[in-house]
Amino acid sequence: MSAYPVAAEFGFKAIVKELFSYKTGILAIALLLLLIGISVYAVVAIPYDEAVRLWRAGEMTWLKNPRNAAPVWIELFVGKKLPRTIILSSAKGEASKVKEGRRVVIEYSFDYSYDDFPSEITLFFSAKYGGEPPVVKVYWLRPDGEEFFLANYTLRSPDDKYYISNDFKLETRLETFIIKERLRGKPSFAITVERALFLAYTGKLEVLKGKYKMRLEATLASEGDDLDADLVVYGKVHGFTGTDHLRRPLSIALLWGTPIALAFGLTASLVTTLAQLVIAAISGWYGGKVDSLLQRITEVYMILPFLPILIMVSMFYKIDIWTLLVVVIVLSIFGPGVKTMRALVMQIKNYPFIEAALAYGASGKRIIFLYIIPRVLPLVVPGLISAVPSYVFLEAALSFLGIGDPNVPTWGKIINDAFSEGALYKGYFYWVIEPSIMLILTALAFSFLGFALDKIVNPRLKEL
């Protein structure tokens, strides 16, 4: 070892170390780690193709999810226990099934102790038959012992579904029965099928808790035939994030939106800032005609209408997220940043050490990349970091305007869906809040990081 210890109180490590001395720095790092954690989890747990497939699959994939179900944590605010989705499959042995010759009896039974009515009830058949389809009689047994005959249903295909909630004849029948025989008067609420099946006969809109049963009595055309059925009592909450109008769990888009937003924001910000820096350095260093040309280009670019051009591009070309990224970068390269950075370059250009470099024969390229850019970089980095959320927002805004990648699940897509489905009007506020929270977290993480870095690399700000 040499007699003089080599100091290392600067550089990347030191900056990270100093970051931890600021509250904003710690918060920023915590938030960033959270976002990165979510991204890694998303990428590992749901491969990209799978995510796109799940998101684009349509309603068939998510048939057994409730539609527009709120996230589970909504109960904290509602103060009621909201129904979860109950799925009972006879094929999986979750219901008792008895087959005697051409007769099949399936009996489902479940406890229902929620404070609200289910959103839908559906039977998913899966039958095996050669000639005539099976005929199924459906019975409903309430905890108070009352039994409803629901339907005498003839299957139209082997995987037919009986949408009990949509059976209007049944609805009218049950409604009339309940009003006449049980409530003896018209209640203040409408009686739908779900309500009729679960209503406590108190005159108020209350659920009768207890053990419910559903019995299917099927008659098969021949002994070789078979019938299974899944009973799905759709809840009103689903998972941690809820579902959208296509029954998709929002978690897919929220999870996958994170790496996409981070990648989009970081790449756009990094490439734009660095490109602007190089342009500014070239413009400031060479001066003269080069400078005039680059500055005029910048000025023209700055007045170009950003959105209309993007809309035009998206009209003529198939836009996916990466071409969108390229277009955004191309449109922002000659941004106002070029002007401010050029001013910095002009200042540094006249420093003696640049002249010294010039004297010992350093080329223009060397001076730009080894002398000027490293000097301007620390001043630019906080801005670069703080610009990340603006690009994330831009992507969301573009998705919202429908100029996004239609395939990729992003936060902007969720907001777009929510908006076009009138989420706020219908009270599905979680649908808007969840992606918004993610956007805000991203913005906060990068803004805090930017603030903290600004204090570190531009120490004069500390005094303010």
Partner 1 sequence: MPLLEVRDLRLYYRTRRGVVKAVDKVSFDLEIGETLAVVGESGCGKSSMARAIIRLLPRNVHTYDGKVLMDGVNLMELDDERFRKEVRWRKISMVFQGAQNSLNPVLKVGYQVAEPLMIHYGMDKESALARAKETLKLVGIHEAFADRYPFELSGGMKQRVVIAMALVTRPKVVILDEPTSALDVITQANIMNLLKRLKGEFNLSYIFITHDIALASELADKVAVMYAGQIVEIASAETFYTNPNHPYAQKLMASVPTLRTDKKLDFIPGTPPSLINPPPGCRFHPRCPYATDKCRREEPPIVDLGEGHMVKCWLYG
Q: What dihedral angle (degrees, nearest 10) is formed by the CA atoms of 355, 361, 366, 371?
A: -30
Applying CB under 8 A, which part among 94-102, 150-158, 339-347, 370-378 lies near partner 1? 370-378
Best CA proximity match to 258, nearest among 32, 28, 26: 32
Q: Which of 145, 359, 425, 463 binds partner 1 (CB under 8 A)?
A: 359
Q: Which of 87, 183, 208, 357 binds partner 1 (CB under 8 A)?
A: 357
Q: Which of 336, 353, 365, 424 binds partner 1 (CB under 8 A)?
A: 353
Angle (CA) 441-444-450 rounded to 5° is 145
Applying CB under 8 A, which part among 6-14, 266-274, 275-283, 413-421 lies near partner 1? 6-14
Per rule CB under 8 A, is residue 10 in the interface with partner 1? yes
Applying CB under 8 A, which part among 27-35, 138-146, 219-227, 352-360 lies near partner 1? 352-360
Residue reference for tokens 């500014």: 280
Per rule CB under 8 A, is residue 2 in the interface with partner 1? yes
Smallest separation (angstroms) from partner 1 to the CB of 9: 10
Residues 371-390 that bind partner 1 (CB under 8 A): 371, 374-375
Helix, strand or coil for residue 242? coil
Per rule CB under 8 A, is residue 362 in the interface with partner 1? yes
Q: What's the rounded Cα separation, in Å, for the pair 129 and 140?
A: 26
Applying CB under 8 A, which part among 4-12, 108-116, 143-151, 332-340 lies near partner 1? 4-12
Q: Mask 280-299, x = binds partner 1 (CB under 8 A)?
A: -------xx-----------
Per rule CB under 8 A, is residue 355 in the interface with partner 1? yes
CB 334 within 8 A of CB 275: no
Helix, strand or coil for residue 312? helix
Best CA proximity match to 132, nearest among 218, 13, 232: 218
Cβ neighbours for 257, distance < 8 A, ≥ 6 positions apart: 409, 410, 411, 412, 413, 414, 435, 438
Per rule CB under 8 A, is residue 4 in the interface with partner 1? yes
The two three-digit tokens of residue 325, written as one number = 């990224």
Of the pair 57, 370, the CB lying nearest partner 1 is at 370
Cβ neighbours for 339, distance < 8 A, ≥ 6 positions apart: 280, 295, 298
Residue reference for tokens 């749901």: 46
Smallest separation (angstroms) from partner 1 to the CB of 363: 8
Helix (H) or strand (E) holding 124: strand 120-128
Per rule CB under 8 A, is residue 315 in the interface with partner 1? no
Per rule CB under 8 A, is residue 189 in the interface with partner 1? no
Applying CB under 8 A, which part among 29-37, 136-144, 317-325, 350-358 lies near partner 1? 350-358
Applying CB under 8 A, which part among 39-47, 148-156, 174-182, 365-373 lies near partner 1? 365-373
Per rule CB under 8 A, is residue 7 in the interface with partner 1? yes
Cβ neighbours for 212, distance < 8 A, ≥ 6 positions apart: 109, 110, 111, 112, 140, 141, 142, 143, 197, 198
Smallest separation (angstroms) from partner 1 to the CB of 463: 20
Of the pair 294, 319, the CB lying nearest partner 1 is at 294
* Helix, strand, coil in percent for the chain, rounding step 5: 55, 15, 30
**Sign, CA torsion 33/35/41/44:** negative
Cβ neighbours for 35, distance < 8 A, ≥ 6 positions apart: 258, 262, 441, 442, 445
Per rule CB under 8 A, is residue 460 in the interface with partner 1? no
Smallest separation (angstroms) from partner 1 to the CB of 37: 34
Applying CB under 8 A, which part among 121-129, 166-174, 349-357, 392-400 lies near partner 1? 349-357
Smallest separation (angstroms) from partner 1 to the CB of 353: 5
Smallest separation (angstroms) from partner 1 to the CB of 458: 15
Applying CB under 8 A, which part among 197-205, 363-371, 404-412, 419-427 lies near partner 1? 363-371
Q: What's the rounded Cα separation, in Å, for the pair 408 and 56?
A: 9
* Phi, psi (rounded to 5 degrees) for 325: -60, -45
Q: What's the rounded Cα separation, in Å, for the pair 308 and 302?
A: 14
Q: Which of 130, 131, 361, 459 binds partner 1 (CB under 8 A)?
A: 361
Residue 61, judged by CB atoms within 10 A of its CB (0-12, 13-18, 19+), counts as middle
Of the pair 7, 303, the CB lying nearest partner 1 is at 7
Q: Which residues bind partner 1 (CB under 8 A)?
A: 2-4, 6-7, 10, 287-288, 351-353, 355-363, 366, 370-371, 374-375
